[in-house]
Amino acid sequence: MRTPLLSSNSSLTGRSRPALESSLERPDRVELGGHSLQPMPGLRALLQAAGIGASRGPCPLEVRATRVLAATLEMPADQLLPGADLFQDLGGDSIDWFEFITALESEFSVQIAENDAAAIRSVQDAVGYLNRRSR
pTM of the model: 0.58
On whether both 96 and 129 belong to a single domain, the answer is yes
| Rounded CA separation 112/109 (Å) | 10
Residue 132 banded pLDDT, cuts 50, 70, 90: very high
Q: What's the domain count of the chain?
A: 2
Q: What pLDDT was estimated at residue 134? A: 83
On whether both 70 and 93 belong to a single domain, the answer is yes
On whether both 13 and 69 belong to a single domain, the answer is no
Q: What pLDDT was estimated at residue 62? A: 92
On whether both 127 and 67 belong to a single domain, the answer is yes
Q: Is the pLDDT of residue 3 over 60?
A: no
Closest CA to 103 of 135, 133, 132, 74: 74
On whether both 75 and 121 belong to a single domain, the answer is yes
| Rounded CA separation 92/94 (Å) | 7
Q: What mean pLDDT, rounded, does the chain reach?
A: 76
Closest CA to 69 of 58, 61, 77, 59: 77
On whether both 70 and 127 belong to a single domain, the answer is yes
pLDDT (tens digit per residue) in 28-62? 665 666 766 665 556 556 655 666 655 556 788 89
Q: Which residue, of 9, 29, 55, is where some domain finishes?
A: 55
Q: What is the dihedral of CA 78, 84, 87, 93, to 10 degrees?
A: 30
How is residue 35 annotated by DSSP?
E
On whether both 79 and 48 belong to a single domain, the answer is no
Task: Give the CATH number of the domain where residue 80 resides.
Answer: 1.10.1200.10
* pLDDT top residue among 119 and 52: 119
Q: Which residue, of 55, 74, 96, is where some domain finishes?
A: 55
What percent of the chain stands above pLDDT 90?
Answer: 50
Residue 74 banded pLDDT, cuts 50, 70, 90: very high
On whether both 37 and 86 belong to a single domain, the answer is no
Q: Is the pLDDT of residue 12 over 50?
A: no
Q: How large is the angle between the packed helices 60-73 and 94-108, nearest 10 degrees?
A: 140
On whether both 79 and 127 belong to a single domain, the answer is yes
On whether both 15 and 69 belong to a single domain, the answer is no
On whether both 100 and 46 belong to a single domain, the answer is no
Residue 64 banded pLDDT, cuts 50, 70, 90: very high
Q: What pLDDT was estimated at residue 69? A: 95
| Rounded CA separation 120/126 (Å) | 6
- How many CA atoms within 13 Å lie on the side-chain side of 44? 12
In terms of residue numbers, what domain contains 14?
1-55
